[in-house]
Amino acid sequence: MLDAVTLDAIEKELSALLEDGSEPSAQRAKELVETLEAAVEANQQMKSEPVQQKLRTLLEEHPWMASDVVEREIGVIANENASIRSKRSKVIAIANRMTEALAPHVACRAGCSSCCHMNTIIYEHEAIRLAEVSGRKMTRLPFRPSDVVFAEGLKFNGRPCPFLVENRCSVYEDRPLVCRTHHSLREDATQCSMEIPTSLQVRPPMYDPDNLELPYRELNVMHNLMEPHGNIAEFFPD
């Protein structure tokens, strides 16, 4: 199940490859088709009965996680007469509650770090926070469109996050929102391995992360339309 930004990037690249028609372009097009096939597999996993049962149980235990309820809660936060820092903190607090609620249902465990080798896109304000708590130097990035950010971040796929230490997050309490919302509702983390070729990787079934990620993005856009974002390794290359 690919998000809209990823699908748009794939569509643009496929169009360019088909126009080119060369052998390398044909190979790349084949890889993109495999990516789309993996997306179909992801959709099938999401609709499977074991995953759907987990989601039903989750919402029975935590009715506040229903999409419409979360949307209303985020809406209240967005309309508060408060600083952007305060609003972001409240969204992060919701993400933390979700992490606790999801814990009994996910394949994720301490020491499991496959997701820490993904193309992890973060906002500049999140990078600034990581620099503050870690003492590491942060590189400033220019603003780029989201499709460009995603495409340029793909080269980091399979590489460990700069803050991964012995398969554990060294900035866990201050990790970006995208790291808080990512999880897998599979029975184990085998299919999360980044050793699987990129074009064959299947997104894990999840409680919809867009319930938080989209309104968080809207908050940030309202505050600063041109806030830079990029792969975490671009902000911390050393």
Is residue 42's pLDDT more than 70? Answer: yes
Diameter of the chain measured on Cα atoms: 57
Q: How many percent of the chain have pLDDT more than 90?
A: 71
Under the banding of pLDDT at 50, 70 and 90, the label for residue 56 is very high
Under the banding of pLDDT at 50, 70 and 90, the label for residue 4 is low
Is residue 2's pLDDT more than 70? Answer: no
Query: What's the pLDDT score for residue 100?
Result: 97
Residue of higher predicted confidence among 174 and 43: 174
**Could you read off the pLDDT of 91-134 as tens digits, one per residue?**
999 999 999 999 999 999 988 999 999 999 999 999 999 999 99
pTM of the model: 0.83
Query: What's the pLDDT score for residue 101?
Result: 98
Is residue 186's pLDDT more than 90? Answer: yes
DSSP 105-141: G-S--TT--GGGGS--EEEHHHHHHHHHHH-PPPPP-
Is residue 1's pLDDT more than 60? Answer: no
Whole-number Cα distances in Å, 204 to 115, 141, 185: 10, 30, 7
Query: What's the pLDDT score for residue 3?
Result: 64
Domain boundaries defined on the chain: 4-235
